[in-house]
Each structure stands twice: as structure tokens, then as C-alpha cells.
Amino acid sequence: MLVVMQNTASEEQIEAVCETIRQLGFEAHKMPGAQRTAVCVTGNDGSVSPRHFAGLHGIRQIIRVSKPYKLTSNEIKTSPTMVQIGEAKFGDRYQDWIAGPACVEDDDSAMRIAEQLVSRGIKVFRASLYRPRSNPYNFQGLGKAALEKLHAIKQQCGVAIASEVVDINTTDEVASVADALIVDSHNMQNFALLRKLSKLKHPVILKRGIAATVEDFLMAAEYIMAGGNQQVILCDAGMRSFGDHSAHALDLTYLLALKKLTHLPLIIDPSQASGTAGMVPALARASMALGAHGVMVECHDQPAFSATGGTQAILPEQVAELVNA
């Protein structure tokens, strides 16, 4: 249910509605809009009778929400959401780029790459401390040992950091240096992790699971928003397919479907989707042309020597061409 307040409703009247919802045993989420505030009711198994709000002032309309995902739905919030990471803005009328290596490696490459990317206009640098892989023998990040390296990049380059979180035990560690937290597709339905992120103030970049439906994806985002964190960016990194021409299939109709259903920012990761550096620029341009609010790409200045393989990493000069196109 959505309780839409009048544009003249006072804060006291809005709070009275929230208190009534809480007394019923449900949760109240204020959704400020450009002209008026709405209050979304969650935690209810069925419909809530409008009679519970009889006598309260400042209410314009009570709407029943048909979607199981409420806070992520544009039924609840009709105006686009903008999420800011450092100086970069994603959503509404804004588009921006995120770039960097998959992981901080045991050398000075991350700092070197960051300096090149920042000089080319990148405002958000991606690099992870932890990087779980499907192959247990592959490099999975330096973990806590890379914290100082990432902190030095942030201070010296003046760039915002986006880094992956993999479990609830190391989330606070990553959050101590990162400005935005990435949830990889393998963890899209790690509900304990999503609940943990819902209590933080960091923007969360949530990647779609490789077999997730639109509803699965939006319900995962709902976990984060229901706990209080409204700063969610949805990222599509492709889906599992039968083809062997790319790592995953990037279905751009998925982007268009999401744009009709949610107010949240939508970005694309063509690097993880394709698994091949040669495909990344074209997929990035296509995504932006279709209205994506941003693109996150893997970048390395010496991909042949990358600890994560580097087959999907494009060069800093290629990033510059995309940003300045």
C-alpha cells in the first residue's frame, strides 16, 4: 500500500501516518517526491484497510500496490532516483562511467591505472580486495592486505572507490575505504549480505544474477531498500546462455524492461558480460544509447600480466575514447 500525502502536508501529519503504520505492526518508508511525500507500507502479508487511516489529516490518496517489489517499483516512486558516488551521478538524466582493474594486485599497478584513468576523466575507480572466482585456484584478491593500497589511491588520486563485498564478515572492512559497494552476480541472492548492506549508508551496485528474472533482481534490491538504504544502482552483467562466443549473453531488452518498472539507476557491465575486451566498447556504446545511466568496465594498462587474466580488460586509452565520445 502507498499513502500519498497532499503537497501541503506537514511533517507532523506525515509522521502521524507513519506511526499508525507502525502501530499496525508494519514498516513505514517515507518516499519524498518533487511535489509531495508518499509513505510506503511494507511487512504486510495482505492488503491494509484504508479505514485505519480515517481521521488522519494531509492524506491525498491511498493506493494498493500490485507488485511484490514495492520500494523499487515506479508505482511507489514515480520520479527517477539519482545515486551519487563521489562526484559521479547515476540515474534521472545523468550518465557516468566506472572503470578499473578487477582487483588490487600485489604491485603498483592499481595506483598506476588509477592515475591514468583519473587523468582521462574517470570519477569512480573500481578495484576489489576480494574477488571470489568459480575456479578455486584462481587469484581471489589480496584481502585486507590491499586496504592501504586502496586508501592511498583514494587520497592521492582524489577518486571515489567502488569495491566488491563478498560476505558479512568482511563488509565493514571494505566499507572503511570504499565509497560504493559492489555485490557480484554470484551474491545477488545472498540475503544475509543484502540485509547487512541495507543498514549501511554506502551506495550499493547490485549485479544481476546470471539466471535472474526481472522480478528476482528487483526483489533482491528490495532487501537493501527495505532495511533503510535507498542508494541502490542496478547493474546488468549478462545472463547464462548456451553460446560459447562470450562469457554471458547481454540482453539489452532486459535494460528496457527494467526502465519501465523501476525508478532506480541502471548500469551495464559489458566486461563481465562479454568476457572479451574486443566486445566491450561496442556494448558500452549500445547500452548508453539505449538509456543506461552508466557503464562499469574492467581496465588494465597491461592486461596480459593481470593476475585475474585480463581477457576482458580494455586499455585506459580505450576508456578515454568511450568517455569522450
- Say if residue 176 is exposed, middle or buried (CB neighbours under 10 Å; 0-12, 13-18, 19+): exposed
What's the rounded Cα separation, in Å, for the pair 45 and 114? 48
pLDDT digits (tens, 9 = 90+) for 56-66: 899 988 888 77
Of residues 293 and 243, which shows the higher confidence score? 293
- Min mean pLDDT across 107-111, 157-161, 266-270 is at 107-111
SS3 317: helix
> Residue 139: pLDDT above 90?
no
Report pLDDT for 154.
96
> Residue 136: pLDDT above 90?
no
Every domain range in the chain assigned CATH 3.20.20.70:
83-323
Q: Which helix (H) or strand (E) holds 161?
A: strand 160-164
Residue 26 phi/psi, 5-degree rounding, is: -110, 180
SS3 207: strand
Q: What share of the chain is helix, strand, coil (3-state, %, to 5)?
A: 35, 20, 45
Q: Write down the CATH number for the domain with range 83-323.
A: 3.20.20.70
What's the rounded Cα separation, in Å, for the pair 304 and 313? 9
Report pLDDT for 38.
86
What's the rounded Cα separation, in Å, for the pair 160 and 52? 46
pLDDT digits (tens, 9 = 90+) for 43-82: 777 778 888 888 889 998 888 877 888 899 998 888 899 9
pLDDT digits (tens, 9 = 90+) for 167-206: 999 999 999 999 999 999 999 999 999 999 999 999 999 9
Supply 104's cell numbers: 588490487
Every domain range in the chain assigned CATH 3.30.70.1140:
2-63
SS3 263: coil
Report pLDDT for 131.
85
What's the rounded Cα separation, in Å, for the pair 209 and 207? 6
String of DSSP letters for 60-104: EEEE---SS--TTBTTT--SPP-EEETTEEEBTTB-EEEEE-SB-
pTM (two decimals): 0.87
Q: Write down the CATH number for the domain with range 2-63.
A: 3.30.70.1140
